[in-house]
Structure 1
Amino acid sequence: MEAHRNGLRIPLSGSKVHTVLAALLLARGRVVSDSRLNFLLWGWKPPATSGAQIYTYMSRLRKLLGDEVRIERRPPGYLFQAPHSAVDLLEFERLDRLGRAALAREHHQEAGRLLAEALGHWRGGALANVTEHLADAELPQLEEARMHALESRIEADLALGRHEQLTAELTGMVAQYPLREKLRAQLMTALYRSGRQSDALQSYYEGRSLLAEQLGIDPGEALGSTYAAILEGTRGPGPGGATRPVPQPAAAGRTPSTLPPDVDGFVGRDGDVRALRTQLAESAAGRAPGRLLVTGMAGVGKTALAVHVAHLAADDFGDGRLFAELSEADGRPRRPRDVLADLLRDLGEHLGEHLGEHLGERLGETGAGRPAAGPGADRATYEDLVRLCRARTRGRRLLVVLDGAAKGRLLDPLLAALPDAVVLITGRTRLTQVTGARTLALAPLADAAALDLLAAAAGRARLLAEPDATDDLIGYCGGLPLALRIVGSRLTARPFWPVARLAQRLAAPELRLRELSFDGMDVATALQPSLHALPAAARTVLARLAGIGAEPFHAHRASGRLGLDEAAAEQWLEELVDGALLDLCGVDLRGRPLYRFHGLVQLFAAAQPVPPRVSSSSPAAG
């Protein structure tokens, strides 16, 4: 934990001051409560003078950090604001998100550069000079984020053919982290591609023995599929040993498939799987519309369900199954022309840098028939993409999964380019603009299904041994698959933790969202795009309604909190329903609609700043 001004290190003395500053920064602009500071500084037994000592540390930090930084007393704790400062951790997380998004689009050069830059913000181990209480609470997830970024950077480098340069680095990393299966799979891939097949297989056998001896488990998908691919001579199932297939040109006689890997042990949605599987079969046979929507709040498992069913439907779509993301990592919608270009590449088109000229040649157009470079050039390029996509998909039994739709108007040009394909769309909202589409709305999982999902990751016997703690964990997750997967992953990564330990960490509502973050999965991050898609006034409504809790309420009760009449309040509530941040859950005895927050959304809303007033105009008027 360090602070610098104009390149010079600011002298911070003692682990307690370092701990207070670290706690404020790790809160990412949220209030850090006195109770949280007490625990991070002294554990479960703070001194009687803890309040006065914390006040002293804050005063010392204000003096050391200067006027550029504000540390405010905000009951029940303190708020840190430094708008003109840079925080290594936040910059690392930003670059990591961008790098992994580039990697998902197979832009390997860009991904490698961004991820290497992200890792450059690490200068040794994190939090080396804070109290053990803060280190225990925060270091595991920070270290996991670093390792995930490192594995992603190595995946990009492997895809760029840098296996020989990576072998030494990977050998050292596997020696340091022998139970990380993805690292070992990447080492096996690098060794194999360097002509060292026997060394690659020996690394697998060593890993398998360690997993059996220390954890009592068999190798997972990443390690097992890489081993099988090496035996078959295919050099691993994809770039860097990843399981996502490399698209093959249709002209080479192969069926293109760019679906992400299916979720291991997909559980909890048998009825939804059957319904969507039936709808896809009917659409493939031409007996039903070829447009299907899967909707629901962030983290409810839309993408996992769509990908799982798309894998099951392989026989119905013999000409290929394609996958495209409609949003960037930060939630901003991608341009339709970029999505179309990706789909065409997946279909085997080699698109050059100058798309307009290149596609004109592919379509048999003469130079005289094309617009000159200038304002019309982009439009001409986009029209070429649409025509070429229509030509490449015409009459083919093709499934296209479009993931993360936010606005129906951005879907129109994509659907127009895919008239003969069956298109499965996931999105937070219903997207009524998609004419004739059938919609499957996903709800959070019931308790029994939630237990199945948690057991698939953490082991049923371990959960049943602590039934009360397991019930608490399921309750804290509110049936949200993303939260359940995070909890299951954390338990798997800590095989000697009692279930009750994690339940205790999730028990405090003000800390729950921070605890629901692990290995690149984060509930609060998943909810951010839904928040950012709202108008500013709707965000104010959301923040002011958070105090209403997770119980059902009607517009009349909301109007009192918002200072609006009931009709205006109801219009804002409907805006939040459309934004997938509020649920309609029935009607009361007087026939009035009842609304309800999901428990985690309510905590997320409570963490947002509360402006002083709500606009009296309706969403439509705004």
Structure 2
Amino acid sequence: MLEFRLLGPVSVTRAGTAVPLPGTKIHTVLAVLLLARGALVADGRLSAALWGDAPPHTSNSQIYTYVSRLRKVLGKAAQISRKGPGYALDVKDAEVDLFSFERLDRLGRQALKENRHEEAGRLLGSALGCWSGHALDNVSEHLLQFERPRLEFLRAEALERRIQADLALGRHRSLVPELLSLVARFPMEENLRAHLITALHRCDRQAEAVQVYGEGRRILDEQLGVVPGPQLRKAYLRMLRGEGAAARRKPLVLLPVRAAVVTGRTAEAARLRSLLLRRPSGQGSRLRAALVTGMPGSGKTALAAEVAHGCAQAFPDGVVHADLQDADGAARPPAAVLAEILSALGDTADAGRAAGHELGDLVRRYRARTAASRLLVVLDDATGDAQLAPLLPASPDTALLITSRTRLVTVPASSTVPLEPLGDEDAVALLAETVGAGRVRAELPAARDLVRYCAGLPLAVRIVGARLAARPHWPVARLAAQLADPRSRLAAFSYGGLALTRTLDRALSRLSPATAAVLPWLAALGPGPFTARLAGEVTGLAEAEGALEELVDACLLSSEPGGALGEDRYRFHPLVLLYAGELPRTELPR
């Protein structure tokens, strides 16, 4: 795959190796075509970028020569087509650093606007990381004159927004050296100077802050004949009044570490953020909750943790997390969960015996504690509405983020985000996050085979990725060959503390004994689709539909309408089918 760089010296790499581009003129033509984003670039526009107002009489033939050379070095991965009086470049699936910068900057701006400062800082930092020097560093002076100021302005704005996010997160001490350097390089940038005054003030370095303001006022007067603008004046006055001397209080954040990579869930994450960050609409507002559902191993917990970390700054009273099941998979009593949350929130009354208190007393204390709080409560792996009911907060100012393998009546369908299996490309991207993009690119066909055997299940991809990462000398094809045999595939999905069969065992333990006994018999039906009538014929059960629906609720089967007689049709996920086929069969009640 090709990678194009504009935010620094214009260059092209193919699979990590530089593609030779001889001469300034070739770099200029490539930059103009890339900046057009696939639109037609007229010959006159190319001529102006190459020679300004004094093109040679052979300009058209020279442009044709440059384009021909570009076609040759870029190959089939990018297409330059002649369209009327100009050229258009289609980069297909290639990466362009400018486009990546703009996307990350846009997401960072939105996160900053919604007070998701941690996420904003991360996104904007990644956007700035797309730069490798001054934009368009090896093109003609004519193109540089037109395009570099615009691009450098976008960079400066992204930098300022990232500094805003860092200040909001209380990172003023680490910002001071960076801001001192930036102000020295850009002495007339008032916003940077204002941020430096704020950071110095929060570090109790008021004398230096006064000096920074005085120097800025002098430079603006001598160089431009103007007085400081409103932002610089306000920062100075806030410092003189002693306002904001301490950094903004960071909320309590008690969440699992972001250990798992979350890939391919952009739309689902955006939907969850929207549900959690919507503001209550007055008295009588409904519960503010979002529910993530999906089959075992679909990445519900990892996605919830990622979203909660990103939203933390929008909840000034904190973020707390509670597991709703024990290590062995049994549902935890609501009283134990409430005692844990209350302790995290600083309610230490009878902390040693809290779990033994009457449930009603714990619920009253919990709801009193959250009545006027802007809090995010993350409840992981809820077993059902009965377990969840005592954990509902008293006020819509407190939001709930819940994960469960089944849909819950407590949370409306409009606030439920189901996780489907990943597509092959997203699964390959997740594998690359674990084992390295270069290794995956080098054996892309084998990597695609590998993730196809994982059937879009993130847990399975993470496990095979961990195995490969621990064995850098293994070809990807070696592990793909091990997974090719369905009889040994499940055994391969185990590494370290991760095991797919253990996750599925926990899901099986939550089923009623009768339904658990039916599951291995259903494996004889294959992946599906099949109807309840056919399942009844195979198992001999008169009421097979009830067992099938319980399996659907547990996300061990999926269902869809459309049978010939209006019957629902059921399907197995490929890995659940393998699991069911390995379970022992016991005699079913007739």
TM-score interval (norm. to shorter): 0.5 to 0.7
Structure 1: segments with no counterpart, 5+ residues: 1-228, 233-251, 357-376, 617-622
1:595 and 2:567 matched: no
User: Could you tell me which residue of structure 1 aligns to residue 251 of structure 2?
Assistant: 255
Of 553, 562, 572 in structure 2, the residue corresponding to residue 578 of structure 1 is 553
The verdict on how the C-alpha distance between 1:609 and 1:281 changes in structure 2, with shifts beyond 3 A counting, is same
Q: Supply the distance in 1 between the matched residues of 2:426 and 2:415 (Cα, whole angstroms).
A: 25
User: Could you tell me which residue of structure 1 aligns to residue 465 of structure 2?
Assistant: 488
Letter in 2 for 1:266: V
Q: Which has the larger radius of gyration?
A: 2
Deviation at 1:416, TM superposition (A): 5.3
The verdict on how the C-alpha distance between 1:585 and 1:494 changes in structure 2, with shifts beyond 3 A counting, is farther
1:222-621 equivalences in 2 (<5 Å): 255-263=251-259, 265-282=261-278, 289-352=287-350, 355=353, 378=356, 380=358, 382-415=359-392, 420-434=397-411, 438-565=415-542, 568-613=543-588, 615-616=589-590
Letter in 2 for 1:275: R
Q: Supply the distance in 1 between the matched residues of 2:300 and 2:250 (Cα, whole angstroms).
A: 29
TM-score (norm 1): 0.52
TM-score (norm 2): 0.55
Letter in 1 for 2:347: E
Identity %: 44
The verdict on how the C-alpha distance between 1:265 and 1:285 changes in structure 2, with shifts beyond 3 A counting, is farther
Q: Supply the distance in 1 between the matched residues of 2:259 and 2:356 (Cα, whole angstroms).
A: 38
Deviation at 1:340, TM superposition (A): 1.0
Q: Supply the distance in 2 between the matched residues of 1:255 and 1:465 (Cα, whole angstroms).
A: 44
SS at match of 1:595: strand
User: Could you tell me which residue of structure 1 aligns to residue 168 of structure 2?
Assistant: none
Is contact 1:290–1:437 with CA below 8 Å preserved after alignment? no
Give the number of aligned pairs: 344
Q: Supply the distance in 1 between the matched residues of 2:407 and 2:279 (Cα, whole angstroms).
A: 19
Deviations 1:62-110 (A, max 9, x none): xxxxxxxxxxxxxxxxxxxxxxxxxxxxxxxxxxxxxxxxxxxxxxxxx
SS at match of 2:381: strand
SS at match of 2:559: strand
Is contact 1:283–1:289 with CA below 8 Å preserved after alignment? no
Deviation at 1:491, TM superposition (A): 0.8
Q: Supply the distance in 2 between the matched residues of 1:467 and 1:378 (Cα, whole angstroms).
A: 56
The verdict on how the C-alpha distance between 1:462 and 1:316 changes in structure 2, with shifts beyond 3 A counting, is same
Q: CA RMSD in A?
A: 2.6
Deviation at 1:495, TM superposition (A): 0.5
Is contact 2:276–2:400 with CA below 8 Å preserved after alignment? no
Letter in 2 for 1:317: F
Deviations 1:380-435 (A, max 9, x none): 4x333223222322211100000010121011111156765211110111122456
Is contact 2:253–2:312 with CA below 8 Å preserved after alignment? no
Q: Supply the distance in 2 between the matched residues of 1:283 and 1:515 (Cα, whole angstroms).
A: 46
Letter in 1 for 2:328: D
Is contact 2:297–2:503 with CA below 8 Å preserved after alignment? yes
SS at match of 1:291: strand
Is contact 1:483–1:523 with CA below 8 Å preserved after alignment? yes
Deviations 1:139-167 (A, max 9, x none): xxxxxxxxxxxxxxxxxxxxxxxxxxxxx
1:102-251 equivalences in 2 (<5 Å): none
Q: Supply the distance in 2 between the matched residues of 1:312 and 1:533 (Cα, whole angstroms).
A: 32
Deviation at 1:487, TM superposition (A): 0.9
The verdict on how the C-alpha distance between 1:462 and 1:497 changes in structure 2, with shifts beyond 3 A counting, is same
The verdict on how the C-alpha distance between 1:378 and 1:347 changes in structure 2, with shifts beyond 3 A counting, is closer
SS at match of 2:425: helix
Q: Supply the distance in 1 between the matched residues of 2:416 and 2:344 (Cα, whole angstroms).
A: 27
The verdict on how the C-alpha distance between 1:435 and 1:529 changes in structure 2, with shifts beyond 3 A counting, is same
Letter in 1 for 2:270: R
Q: Supply the distance in 1 between the matched residues of 2:310 and 2:399 (Cα, whole angstroms).
A: 15
Deviations 1:527-565 (A, max 9, x none): 112111111111121110112222322223212211134
Is contact 1:399–1:422 with CA below 8 Å preserved after alignment? yes
Deviation at 1:284, TM superposition (A): 6.3
Q: Supply the distance in 1 between the matched residues of 2:363 and 2:250 (Cα, whole angstroms).
A: 23
Q: Supply the distance in 2 between the matched residues of 1:387 and 1:253 (Cα, whole angstroms).
A: 28
Is contact 2:295–2:556 with CA below 8 Å preserved after alignment? yes
Q: Supply the distance in 1 between the matched residues of 2:261 and 2:575 (Cα, whole angstroms).
A: 25
Q: Supply the distance in 2 between the matched residues of 1:442 and 1:285 (Cα, whole angstroms).
A: 29
User: Could you tell me which residue of structure 2 aligns to residue 8 of structure 1?
Assistant: none
SS at match of 2:421: coil
